[in-house]
């Protein structure tokens, strides 16, 4: 939880959780309260705020927030990524949404490039393609490069 996460509000000399502020006073965070005072956000960084309970529903502000965050985490599925191609043969990764910071850092560090026009990450070099393990993609099959047979002149050929 970030220090400036708003856990609730102080208005009308009472403490509200975000839901009760709206449902019982009809006020929004940007309004002034019934006494003409600005409604004060109660930030998570304030240790006294962490012990506050909502005057109306009685829930601890911190608990409400933790429950809300847990639910949001569940509701938001992880990004989806698929392999594709870019500039013809170049391996590329297409995300259906902006991947988390650590994934982007990992891609950048490995040498992937972001193409803002095509909206995908692509690999500008040849094999091996370093797909970050955190993407949980099936591994890139090692390409069998067909080499011309090596002919050693003068070397004995048959072993049988």
CB 7 to Zn ion: min, Å: 11
CB 33 to Zn ion: min, Å: 16
Residue 54 touches Zn ion, criterion: CB under 5 A:
yes
Peptide bond into 128 cis (omega under 30): yes
CB 73 to Zn ion: min, Å: 22
Nearer to Zn ion, 43 or 56 (CB): 56
Residue 57 touches Zn ion, criterion: CB under 5 A:
yes
Candidates 13-21, 25-33, 103-111, 125-133: pick the segment binding Zn ion (CB under 5 A). Answer: 13-21
Nearer to Zn ion, 20 or 131 (CB): 20
Residue 7 touches Zn ion, criterion: CB under 5 A:
no
Contact predicate 115/86, CB 8 Å: yes
Chain-centroid distance of CA 116 in Å reads 19
Residue 20 touches Zn ion, criterion: CB under 5 A:
yes
* Of 56, 95, 113, 135, the one binding Zn ion by CB under 5 A: 56
**Residue 106: which residues within 8 A CB-CB, separation 6 or more?**
132, 134
Contact predicate 61/51, CB 8 Å: no
104: exposed, middle or buried (Cβ count in 10 Å: 0-12, 13-18, 19+):
middle
Radius of gyration of the chain (CA): 29
């Amino acid at each position: 939880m970030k220090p400036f996460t708003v856990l609730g509000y102080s208005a009308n000399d009472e403490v509200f959780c975000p839901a009760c502020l709206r449902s019982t006073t009809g006020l929004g965070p940007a309004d002034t309260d019934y006494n003409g005072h600005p409604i004060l956000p109660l930030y998570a960084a304030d240790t006294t705020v962490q012990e506050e309970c909502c005057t109306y529903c009685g829930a601890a502000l911190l608990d409400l927030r933790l429950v809300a965050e847990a639910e949001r985490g569940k509701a938001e599925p992880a990004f989806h990524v698929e392999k594709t191609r870019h500039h013809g043969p170049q391996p590329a990764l297409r995300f259906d949404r902006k991947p988390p910071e650590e994934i982007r850092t990992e891609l950048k560090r490995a040498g992937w490039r972001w193409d803002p026009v095509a909206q995908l990450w692509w690999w500008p070099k040849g094999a091996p393609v370093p797909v970050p393990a955190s993407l949980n993609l099936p591994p890139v099959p090692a390409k069998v490069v067909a080499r011309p047979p090596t002919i050693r002149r003068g070397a004995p050929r048959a072993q049988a």
